[in-house]
Structures are given as C-alpha cells and as structure tokens.
Structure 1
C-alpha cells in the first residue's frame, strides 16, 4: 500500500501521471491518424462499391464490385464484433511479428488501430449514405469523374457527420487505450492497474479518472465545434 502522507508522494504522483498521459496521448494520436486514413477509405469503398454505387462495377465487372464490397463488409463486421480485450490478446502474435514486441506503448497502437478502423469505417458508411442522391446525379450530369464525385461532392457534403463520427471514435480509442494497460501497454491504464489496483492507491485511481475525463471532454468540445462550423459553411 502506498503512503500518501510521504513527503515525496505528490511529486511522484504528478510525474507518474505526466508520463502516463504523454504515453496515452501518443497512442491515441497515432491511432487517430491511422484510423482516419484507413477508416475513411474503407467506409467510402463500402458505399461506392455497393449496389447502385458509382463504383458498382470496378474494372468493368459487377462481380468484382460484389467481391470487394462483400470482403469489406465481412472485415468490418468481424472487427466490430470481437470484444476489445479478446482482440488485443488475439493480436499478440501479429503485433510481435510486426514490431518485434507485443508489449509496450508503441505495440499497443496495433490493437487500438485494428479495433478503431472498422468502427469508424461503419460510421463513414452511414454518413456518406445520407448524402442526397440528387447531388451525385447533378455531378454526373456535369461530367464529373468518379474520383471527382467522391472528393468534391460525396465526402465534402458528409463532413459534419464524419467529424461527429470521428469524435465518437476518438473517445472510444481513449477508452481502449486505458484497457491496453492490462497487458503492459503503458499509459494511464497501466498507472490505474499498477498503482491503483495492485498497490491499493485510491488517489491514483481518482487521478487517472480525472485525466481521462478531461481528455474526453476536450475531444468532445473540439469535435462538436468543428462539426458545427462545417455545418454552417
């Protein structure tokens, strides 16, 4: 048990929290970037390769479109159906193969990204499907290419929804980043387990909760402001 009355307790607590918060922000930041790129790409492909989509027949073959869409649907559904703690353990061999180690702050990014990408891909799909078909038809009548339709019509029109969905995804990543501490992933979750649970320090638990809540509140506020600003453009 940790003695909170010791003269060096509070400086050590602050130092531990500062280090762990930096690790968590690093994990979340890198995972956010990977998720934004791959999740947006996967979600967009889900929409444009579906029946009636602008890329329903890639390579001139409807069968190819069905295969691409079916594979993506299966991967996204699989990624979203596995509980994170199980996914994290199942990915240990892959993480070790990819990075040389399955444990540590950087290694934790692998399961975080694998969990977040399908989640955001589904949100992207939902947001893009809400874009008016009339806008797509107008773009086609003006001679826009498929890439122009995606980059200048479909995605821009869905930006407010994409931002709100990404905000929700980032909050989930923050929550998951606390869980990776259970298998040596570092960050705030590691502090909660090593100091709060194993050494019975309520103060460390409360401090971790306060920091996590603060991070989530900031993410929510920034996301909501960006989404509202884009909605009124």
Structure 2
C-alpha cells in the first residue's frame, strides 16, 4: 500500500518509534509511514530475541539509531534519548506502542487481577509513556507530536479485555493531561485507537479471533483496518496539517466504535 503525496511533508523531521516486534506490528506501520513522508527514524527493540525480527526492518528504512529498550530496565530509556540528543539534537515525533500485563492477570477477570500484575501493567503500558514524554519534551524545541496506542476497551466493556481496559483508560486520560501541560510548548499528544488487528500482542487476548471477525462484520466500511491505515493517520497528525489537533482519542477502526 502506498500513499501518493505531493512532497515529503515530514522531510528532516526526527521520529522515535518504540514498540516494533515484527512486520505485523502497528508501530511498524507507523514507522513506514513516517519514513515514506520523509522523516528520519530512531527504532528500538525489546531484547535480543526481538532484535532478529526488528533489525531488518530498521535497515529497510535506513534508521540511523537502532537500540534496545526495555522500559523496565534501569537506564535503557535514558540511553535512547541521550543517543538521540547526541546524534540529532532534537526530536519531532514520539510513538509509544508498548503494553504488557502478566498472562495470568490478563486472561483472568478483573476481580482476580493481582496487585502486582495491575502495577506491572500500569507501569509498562501507561507510566512509561509519561517517562518518555518527560525526556522527549526538552528535545521538541520547535514543537512536536506524541502518540500512544489505546483500544475501545478503554471506554466500553469488551469481552476478555479484562485488566487492560482500566489500564488503557488511564492511558487515554494521561494523553489529555499531557496535551494540556505540553500545549504551550506546541507539543501535541494523541491517543490512537485502532480497531482489532492481528499482532503479536493481540495473541495474548482470549478468543481474539472472534473479536476480529465480529469487528470486520460490524465495520461500516465493510472491512478491518491494517497497520498502514494507522500509520498514515499518525503521519498526518504529525504534519502541520493537524497543527491544532491535540488531546483527542483518534479512532482508526473503520467506524466500528460508532455501532451499538
């Protein structure tokens, strides 16, 4: 899928993309879209196991920064931003596409979620975005855009989404408060809510295939979205064409969320 554009409107912009696991990742669709519109990319990978999947993707978009990032590992997040400051001196786009909950807490009901599991899910899936924003903001000297990934289960009850519903609700509220605090710096913050997509992360949800099929049947456009639909929307929001759009939860789901 390719987008015909009159010019690379993100030329010379610097983008950090966090959360690529493989070529099916939403974050990869975003990275490809930023690249197609002219941005330079910094790409991270979770660990050595993930590196073999992500490295060829980073090479295909000529990413000059490719580093490990486990937000739970002390110092790794700071190291990524130190490298960005050293090489580029600035940052224009931040994309946070990571989430985690222990399997036993994710696949059980909310009543059965442990305090430890809830805290871990909140730290990785939500508070890490705050930590990234804190480090990114000083580098966004001429303004910028920050994105994180949410899901409709934050606003409505979705079967088997369980603990991630409250976690994503907190993440959406976080975006609104960050949009307010960072607005004077011309930094815009977006919560992106894609429809169901078959990614590695979605494999942890019970009966996800049923959710996927139902969404495809209910979507007003008659089909599911893909990672490039999400990517191109984020790329648009990072351009001057969306210079006064901030603090919203942006649905990219073929209209599924409007259906009763």
- Larger strand proportion, structure 1 or 2? 2
TM-score by length of 1: 0.28
- Larger helix proportion, structure 1 or 2? 1
TM-score by length of 2: 0.26
| Higher RCO (CA 8 Å, separation ≥ 6 residues) | 1
